[in-house]
Amino acid sequence: MHLRRFDEINEFYNSVEPFLMTREAEHNLMIGLYSALRQGNVYRLPPYLAVVEDAGEVVAAAVRTPPYNLILSEMADARPIPAIADDVYSVYGDELVGVMGPKVWSKTCAECWSSLTGRPHRLKMAQRIYRLERVRPVSGVSGELRRATQADRELLLQWELAFAWEAVGESDPEQAERRVELALTSEPALRGRCLWWDGGQAVSMVGYTGPTPNGIRVGPVYTPPERRGRGYGSACTAAVSQWLLDQGRRFVFLYTDLSNPTSNHIYQDIGYEPVSDVDVYEFGQKA
């Protein structure tokens, strides 16, 4: 097996696209990151882009947008993981914060990283990828969908930060501002934020980003605690998903936190079907 690391995003994607597209839903995050990076790196540092080849065929891929987690592709077995871990270590030393990928391979990589660096690992979040092809409309919820505009900037930023704190226990104001700015200025078919309005005020937010050749990813989905239990999040997600399908997308993708059974049930009611499980591991400090 041979690992190839790339400095140029298009060269990387040309090499890896046929492999990623064999499982478009499972690789939607990695493909979507390419779409974002191609439009200009919104992250602080250059990305890490690598493939592992066996007899000239791509068998695994790994991407990182520092300072965030390493992202792993699907793979047939664990053989590419030591090569990926060694190469990531050669680039970043032991400062990697975590790894995200298919359930089995993310755990294997976390164990490999702990052996390599002496840093402990723990499961931070168990997620599930969903795919939707047809929306089951939500009825009985008052209000309507509106696309967010510059007038909503401060509200979007506030909810973006609140979502991050609730979802992962941390937030990055600089990155939140960048995401909001991109959502408000990008081509509407590729990225945006939508709001559900009821009684003259915004009550829920749904974003979308990360286009793939046939799909696009929904997220974040956020409803303030005092507005929950009224169906706003469901109605907003269903309406945004339908709009994306109407724009010509065959699929809409979604990541959920498996520790939240309510949201997983809600999304399945809308029409999202489970595809695969993804685990996020974080690394602690050496003892």
185-215 per-position pLDDT tens digit: 999 999 999 999 999 999 999 999 999 999 9
pLDDT at 174: 86
What pLDDT band is residue 42 in, cutting at 50, 70 and 90?
low
The tokens describing 83, both together, are 């090569």
- 90 neighbors 232 (Cβ within 8 angstroms): no
User: Is the pLDDT score of 166 beyond 60?
Assistant: yes
Question: Percent of the chain, pLDDT > 90?
Answer: 87
- DSSP per residue over 15-84, as a string? HHHHHHHTTTTTTHHHHHHHHHHHT---SSSPPEEEEEEETTEEEEEEEE-TTS-EEE---SSSTHHHHH
Tell me the per-residue pLDDT of 251-282, one tens digit each, with 9 for 90 and over.
999 999 999 998 899 999 999 999 999 999 99
User: Is the pLDDT score of 39 beyond 90?
Assistant: no
Question: Percent of the chain, pLDDT > 70?
Answer: 98
pLDDT at 38: 80
Tell me the per-residue pLDDT of 141-153, one tens digit each, with 9 for 90 and over.
999 999 999 999 9
Which domains are assigned to the chain?
2-126 (3.40.630), 135-270 (3.40.630.30)
Q: What does the buried/exposed string (b/e) look like for 161-195 if buried means 16 or more CB atoms within 10 Å of the residue's CB?
A: bbbbeebeeeeeeebbeebbebbbeeeeebbbbbb
What pLDDT band is residue 37 in, cutting at 50, 70 and 90?
confident
Tell me the per-residue pLDDT of 82-116, one tens digit each, with 9 for 90 and over.
999 999 999 999 999 999 999 999 999 999 999 99
User: Is the pLDDT score of 41 beyond 60?
Assistant: no
What pLDDT band is residue 157 in, cutting at 50, 70 and 90?
very high
Flag whether the pTM goes above 0.75: yes
Q: What is the mean pLDDT of residues 60-77?
A: 96
User: Is the pLDDT score of 3 beyond 60?
Assistant: yes
pLDDT at 5: 98
User: Is the pLDDT score of 12 beyond 70?
Assistant: yes
Mean of pLDDT over the chain: 95
